[in-house]
Amino acid sequence: MIQLHILHAGYCTCPEHIAIRGGSRTHIRFPAMFALIEHPRHGAMLFDTGYSYRFFDATSKLPYSLYRHATPVTLTEADLAVNQLLTFNLRPRDISRVFISHFHADHVAALTDFDRARSVYLPHAFDSVRFTRGLSAVRRAYLPSLIPSDFDSRAAPVDMSRPVHLPPEYAPFTRGYDLLGDESILAVELPGHAHGQMGIFVRDDSQTYFFVADAAWQGRSIRENRLPHLITNLLFPDPKAYRETLGALHSFHQLHPSVKVIPSHCESTLRECVAPPRAESIRP
């Protein structure tokens, strides 16, 4: 049976009213969530990676420094994914796959740390940013230097020619992708915030989780079908698709209230889900 641990590596800050209409002008934290998925056959895997110190190197000069100034990041040594995994008796070499929701920097900044892992993503998510540089990359929240030099050799893009029909417990989502071939992790496309953004359904021994990345920034947005500030239309590649995706997530929550829907940056949602680490010795 899968064991799931929801963690986060650093955070940025932004006014709440940008993330959700009607929010305050107070700056709130946006934790960079990542999840550790321990599978009985495929071993330890990650959903995204959160921030790493490479983010600061990648944003040290213009135009990429504009990204850092727009969303100031706080990160400590203890926050790093590689250090948090030690608590679970895991080293970077133990990670077999990283499921990449999309290629924004706060989701892929630590990819280089996991140099044996296969990267699993929807192909057009990377195709849409692969060759962007400079201001064009900044507008897409993409930092080219965060992509490992051997990325292509370890890439495992999802074969979108082989979708699976999802049963009623996933409605209104009807089309997905079986990422491991055993239906333990099912992916769906959540367009709007980024091209090819991928969400995943995962079930442990007692609970179903739906990781929705940045399809919404706040859990309240999903529960109330409340959009972010209009200014975000300038940032999203497809605002219409974003609205439709948020509407689908709202419907999903109403139909399946027992499922834990996890946006990547909602501090209150993550606080409810983060469990204390296992008390195990660390490998020498």
- CATH code of the domain covering residue 170: 3.60.15.10
pTM for this entry: 0.95
Report yes or no on 261 lying in a domain. yes
Report yes or no on 283 lying in a domain. no
Question: pLDDT tens digits for 175-205?
Answer: 999 999 999 999 999 999 999 999 999 999 8
Q: Cα 87 to the chain's mean position, in Å?
A: 21
* pLDDT band with cut points at 50, 70 and 90 for residue 274: low
**pLDDT exceeds 50 at position 277:** no
Report yes or no on 269 lying in a domain. yes
Report yes or no on 281 lying in a domain. no
Report yes or no on 185 lying in a domain. yes
Range of the domain at 266: 3-273
Report yes or no on 280 lying in a domain. no
Question: pLDDT tens digits for 20-29?
Answer: 999 999 999 9
**pLDDT exceeds 90 at position 12:** yes
Overall domain count for the chain: 1
Question: pLDDT tens digits for 152-170?
Answer: 999 999 999 999 999 999 9
Report yes or no on 25 lying in a domain. yes
Report yes or no on 11 lying in a domain. yes
